[in-house]
Structure formats: C-alpha cells, structure tokens
Amino acid sequence: MIDLKANLQSIQERIAAAAGRAGRDPAEISLVAVTKTQPAEVIRAAYELGLRHFGENRVEEAEAKAGDLPADITWHMIGHIQSRKAKRVVPLFHIVHSVDSVKLAQRLDRLCLERAAPLPILLEFNVSGEASKYGFAAEEEDEALLAAVEELVALPHLRVQGLMTMAPIVTNPQQARPVFVHLRRLRDELAAAFPQTDWHHLSMGMTDDFEVAIEEGATLVRLGRAIFNPDLPPWRRG
C-alpha cells in the first residue's frame, strides 16, 4: 500500500529544506501532483490530504477523471497538445504548461474567445535539445525566439505567466542543474525584453530533480512518482 500522507509529508519537508537552502519562502512553490495513470479515487485521496493542483498529460485521460472530482481543483496541462485536441483542452484545464509553438498558441487563443478570462499559459523550452522533447529551442539572444514571444504575449485570450522545461533523465540530480539555470536565465532575458508580461512562473523539477530545481528558482514542481509510487524508476515516468 502506498502511504500518500507520509509521501506528501516528506515531499513538503524536502521542498521547505530546498527553499531554505536558496533563501526562498516555501510558500512561493506550488506542488503540482502529476496524476497521469492514477485513477480518480487516488486523486481524490490526494485531494483529501489537501492537494489542489493536479497535472495531466493527456486530454482524454483528464476528461475521463475530472468530471468525478471536486470543482475547486486546478488542472494543469503538462503534455504535448496535438492541434486536433486543442479544442478539448480549453474547457478543462486552468493552466497550460506545454505551449511549444506559436501555431498552438494561436489556435488556443482562438478557442478561448468565449472564455471569461484569458487562459494562463507557460512557454515550454527544450533546454537540453533532446530530439524526444517538445518545446522552443532555448538559445539566448535569439532573434527568432524574440519575434515568436512578441506574437505570443500579444495574443488577447492567453496570458503568459512564465516558462516550463523537462530536464533529461540523469543519475545524479546535480547534472540537471544547468538546465534549470538556463531556463531561469532565459526567463530573466524575456522579462527584460517584455516587461509588460508576467514571467513569474518557472515550472521545472520532477521526482528525481525537484530539490535542485527549487534551489534554482522553480515556482511549480511537477511530481508524480514521489507522491504515488516512489519505487518506480525514472524511465517509467511516462
């Protein structure tokens, strides 16, 4: 049996300790429980222990579960969105971490026309450059990127709130640090170039590397295995 309560308690302690090492207030960091492959009952159990932020990477799976769960959950879309599924993202999710192209953003923007408020989004960057990963290329001082971001921040029905990345699977979490440093620098550069936009979120850090991510400025950590099945190895993270 998985002891969710004990897992969450230990994660909260680790978040607080990592924040402390960086001189940060742990209240700046939100835990997003990644519930892909977890049934609705397990999500409900985590909700009852106080979690309110849940992340899913597939639209169909999230649709199937969200209807049975409390309405005050904040649903985070963290997976790649195929164009034809964008329509189904908008009514369900409260924030999209995985905006990885201008085309997708434009499509989401059109779909948000009737939404009461702009949809919060993060821009996903492929910092490590792995072919298997989605996201904008993370070159600094890149004219093409600045031009893309200029279009993104002008979309009236979306609201950019920061950046997201996934570090590669590494054996020692310290090896992921340069990826997190890079994302933070990129954020600072974009914040200087587009001061009207809110760039406060850095969605970075997963089960194997969240403490390092927090030391480097993460505001949203996305944890699956650490909460729901700590014994699963990283290559099963899906």
Instruction: Give φ, ψ of 180 to 5 degrees.
Output: -70, -40
Give the range of 5-13, 42-50, 107-115, 219-227 binding ligand PLP by CB under 6 A.
219-227
Nearest approach, Cβ of residue 228 and ligand PLP (Å):
8
Report the distance separating Cα 113 and Cα 103, nearest Å: 16
Using rule CB under 6 A, residue 220 touches ligand PLP: no
Q: Which residues 180-209 are close enough to bind ligand PLP by CB under 6 A?
A: 206-207
Of 23 and 233, the one with the shorter C-beta distance to ligand PLP is 233
Interior angle at CA 83, CA 81 and CA 84, nearest 5: 110
Using rule CB under 6 A, residue 130 touches ligand PLP: no
Report the distance separating Cα 71 and Cα 74, nearest Å: 8
Using rule CB under 6 A, residue 53 touches ligand PLP: no
Of 4 and 191, the one with the shorter C-beta distance to ligand PLP is 4
Using rule CB under 6 A, residue 57 touches ligand PLP: yes
- Asked whether 182 and 137 are in contact (CB, 8 A), the reply is no
Residues that contact ligand PLP, how many (by CB under 6 A): 15
Using rule CB under 6 A, residue 224 touches ligand PLP: yes
74-86 burial, b if ≥16 CB within 10 A, otherwise e?
ebbbbbbbeeeeb
- Asked whether 228 and 206 are in contact (CB, 8 A), the reply is no
Q: Which residues 143-172 are close enough to bind ligand PLP by CB under 6 A?
A: 166
Contacts of residue 150, defined as CB under 8 A and 6 or more positions apart, other chains included, come to 194
Q: What x/- string results for residues 61 through 80 when contact with ligand PLP is judged by CB under 6 A?
A: -----------------xx-
- Asked whether 220 and 202 are in contact (CB, 8 A), the reply is yes
Query: Which residue carries 């209807």 as its tokens?
Result: 67
> Would you tell me which residues interact with ligand PLP (CB under 6 A)?
34, 36, 57, 78-79, 166, 206-207, 222-226, 237-238
